Every structure is written in structure tokens, then in C-alpha cells.
Chain A
Amino acid sequence: MCAWHIEQKLKKKVFYLNKGKNEEAKSLYKTITSLPYCEYNDAFLENQTKILKSKVLSENFIDYFKEVIKSKKLWVKCYVKSYFTCGTVTSSRIESKHRVLKEYLDGNSRLGEVYACFKELEESEIKTFLEEEDKISRRQSASLDKHDLINKAKDIYSDYVIQILKGHIFQAIHYNVKTENNYW
């Protein structure tokens, strides 16, 4: 589940804590809103008991909080970390895609337009992928020029030999993912 959405839901319920001059309430507000992003298990448990024991909060909220916590393994960062998630905790990646979509589409566009829009977006995706791959391969070959073996070989051998040597060293050092022609 998206951590940001849960943070927003909790924020709505305890918005009144942040208004007054009470320092204790303000610090409690901060711990509640930063709860989904807890990095470690101990810190999360500590904050949880702090919230459940506090006297400032209403009973309604504490009941609601107990309900939410039942599914904590789905949205607290420290539990989500145990799976491979590419570092994502929120659904912000897809939200940014929707932002791009809204540039082309609005509430009055046709179904055909929706399809054409996705076609175009796919082409741009392929373009950026190829550009990115090109950048990486260029960076790798630039780093090869500084290699000690090639520096020494430059004085003795011709360019043709050095190019072949570069290919061999490249294969030995890097784990390179090759793209097949029919794949992309």
C-alpha cells in the first residue's frame, strides 16, 4: 500500500493537534505523520506505544489507529523493506505518469485519442530508454581509456590492437546486458 496515502488519512484525523501552542501535542503530531516512514522496527514500536498511551488523543482516533495498524506490514517502511521494491514506498511513480497523461487528455477527449496518446507515450519511452543506454555505454568506454593496461599498450601496439584489447577487457570487467533485436 502507498505510505503517502495513509499519511494523508492520519493527517486529516489529527489536524487539530498542530494548531495550538501546546508543544507536546505538536511533537505527537510529528510522530504520527512520520509513522509510515519509520526506517527501523524498534523505532516504530516505540512510537506506536507512545501514541496509544497518550491522553491528548480522543478515543475515536485510538480505535481507528488500532484498525489501521493491523495491516502495518503492508505500509510501514521497515516492513516493506524486507521485500525487493526498488526503493519505492509510495505510488508517486504512477502519479507522475498521470500528470503527463493529463497534458494530452481532458474530460472531453475521445476514446480514440486515449489510445493514440498511449501509442505516442510508448514511442517516447523507447526513445528515452535508448538514450539512457547510449549514455551508460559511453560512460563505460570513457572509463576504460584510463585503464593501466591500455595506457601501457598504447606505446607498443597500433590502434587496431588496442580496440580489440578494449573489447576483451570490457567483457572481463563489466556485466553487460545485451539487448536482442526482436526484443525491443
Chain B
Amino acid sequence: MKIREWACLHDFRVVLGTREQFLKSENTKVTVLECSSKGCEFYLDFRSNHETSNKYKLSKSYNKHNHELKLGNGALEITSEILETIKVLRCITNDPGKIAKNINQKFQKNFDTHIIRYQLLKAKNEDYGSPAQDAHKLMEILEKDKQKRSIFFEKCLSRENKLENFCFMSKRMITLANKFSDVLIVDTTFKTNRFGMPLLDIICINNLGKSCTIFVALLSNSKYESFKWAFEEFKKNLQVIPGVIFSDEEEALRKSKLTNNT
């Protein structure tokens, strides 16, 4: 265990290839880790007896490389200054590779991307809590903003008190929706959150020809019922009838649009 911790703190950059075997006569699993550079004889041979236990044990090894090891900067060398810059950069991009490159240039260090990725995850947990509390935290934030900034939000809970879908509109969005409701464009995207909820959003075109978001909803599935729910919530805030609505060719979306008489 101690060795493992030490290895994590000092980041050795050795690329290891794995080779797995199953020996039938001895009833054991064998995995061999080998250094991938040319002519290097370094290897670790782990074996586990299939019947007695699932744990692997180191049986053979050759602990010498024929080349020098590249040492990268480890997690020990992350200072509070670097942590702050990570937090600032986090707002700009989500890509740990880009952030690592930026920090290595700024502080002249040699951090690997997976160390930065771990720090990003840590910062995320500080801000939004553990993944299990995610929905509760969000509801707290929304309730707070409802009183502070007078936003509109609505949620839909299932029978087991699970969050199914929710939508929100800020005060500015509502005024925009009522002023520039001539042309609306509706679409959905995926891969925006860890629960696989599709994100439905509506945009309008303002008086300067720029597009502005006026409605955001996260839905549990892309079926007709959930789309219908979202459009009904949107209609609650509208005082005028929109002119033209564009969408792509999704059957459920089109059907729910038509039934709402918009």
C-alpha cells in the first residue's frame, strides 16, 4: 500500500503493456506487465490462484530498465497558487489537457494530465457536493435564486420522489421571450450531464440579429410526454403567440409542438 501511495505522488512516466494468460494445469491467472520501450527487459509477473483467492501476488520480476526514467512533477508539488489558477481555468475550458499545458507553461513544471484531471474532480466535489447529492444541491440553488433574482423554475418528480425533469427561465429570458417571439428555434442535445438527460433549449433572435437563449429544460427522456410538459411550462410565461418555430425532424418534438397550438 505504501509503495502504491509513493508511486502516485511521484509520477513515473513508464508505459506498460499488459499480457494476460490462464494456465489450466495450475488453475491460475497470469498477468504480465512489460515496459513498452524497445529492448527493455523490465517486467512484473502477477499470479492468482483461481480457487483460493481473487488477489494477485507478485511472483517474478526483473526490476531494471535499460533507459533513464522520465520523472514528472507529482501531486506533492501542487501549491495553492496552482490550485487557484486551475479553478480560474476551469471556467474557460473543460479539457484537462489544455489546462495542464497552460499551467506547465506558466509555472515551468512538468505535470501530467491525469494529475490535473484529479485536481479538477476535487474542485468539482467542493463546489457541487458528491454526485449522490447533486439533485438536492441544484434544487437548493434554484430555490435561493428564485427569491434573489426572481427566476422561474418548475420541476417534475416521479412517484419515488426522483427528479424526472425540470426547466428554468431567468427574468431576462421571460422579457426577451415576450418581446422577440416572432422566430423561435427549438432543438435538443445530448451528453451535457452525467445522468444522460437530453437538454431542450429554445432561442430567439433579438433586434440586433443575435440569438439569445430563452428557455432551458432537462428531460428524463426524449418522448412525446416529456416534450409536451416542457412546452406547457414555456407557454405559462408567454403572453403572446409566437410566429414561426423551427425544429429538426424529430417526430415527438413536432407532435408536441402541434398539440400545444403554437
Which residues on A are within 8 Å of B, measured CB to CB? 1-2, 5-6, 9, 80, 83-86, 88, 90-91, 93-98, 101-115, 118, 120-122, 125-126, 128-129, 132-133, 136, 177, 183-184
Q: Is the CB of B248 within 8 A of A1?
A: yes
What 7 A-B pairs have minimum CB-CB distances, sorted nearest first?
A: A112-B128, A107-B191, A94-B187, A105-B192, A93-B211, A111-B138, A110-B128
Q: Could you tell me the distance between the alpha carbons of A106 and B93 in the complex, rounded to whole angstroms?
A: 11
Number of interface residues of B (CB under 8 A): 51
The answer, among A2, A88, A103, for a CB contact under 8 Å with B248, is A2
Per-position 1/0 for B183-205, Cβ under 8 A of A = 10111010111111001010101
Q: Is the CB of A88 within 8 A of B183?
A: yes
Q: Which residues of A contact B219 (CB under 8 A)?
A: none
Q: Which residues of A contact B246 (CB under 8 A)?
A: 1-2, 85, 88, 90-91
Besides A104-B93, A110-B131, 4 other A-B contacts (C-beta < 8 A): A84-B244, A105-B191, A129-B206, A177-B207
Q: Is the CB of A98 within 8 A of B189?
A: yes
Q: Is the CB of A91 within 8 A of B218?
A: no
Say yes or no: A129-B187 contact (C-beta < 8 A), given A1-B247, A111-B134: no
Q: Which residues of B contact A104 (CB under 8 A)?
A: 93-94
Q: Give, as a whole number of angstroms, the nearest-CB distance from B228 to chain A.
A: 19
* B137 contacts A by Cβ under 8 Å: yes
**Smallest Cβ-Cβ distance to A107: which chain B residue:** B191
* B5 contacts A by Cβ under 8 Å: no
**Smallest Cβ-Cβ distance to B191: which chain A residue:** A107
Q: Give, as a whole number of angstroms, the nearest-CB distance from B210 to chain A.
A: 7
- Name which of B25-33, B73-81, B167-175 contacts chain A: B167-175
Say yes or no: A122-B203 contact (C-beta < 8 A), given A88-B246, A94-B185, A105-B94: no
Q: Which residues of B contact A118 (CB under 8 A)?
A: 213, 216
Q: Is the CB of B244 within 8 A of A132?
A: no
Q: Give, as a whole number of angstroms, the nearest-CB distance from A115 to chain B.
A: 6
Q: Give, as a whole number of angstroms, the nearest-CB distance from B59 to chain A.
A: 37
Q: List 13 A-B contacts (CB under 8 A).
A: A1-B249, A91-B187, A94-B187, A94-B203, A97-B203, A102-B191, A103-B93, A110-B194, A113-B124, A114-B193, A115-B142, A122-B213, A125-B213
Q: Which residues of B contact A90 (CB under 8 A)?
A: 246
Candidate in A96, A115, A120, A183 with the most chain B CB atoms within 10 angstroms: A115
Q: Is the CB of B172 within 8 A of A122?
A: yes
* B39 contacts A by Cβ under 8 Å: no
Q: Could you tell me the distance between the alpha carbons of A111 and B192 in the complex, rounded to whole angstroms?
A: 9
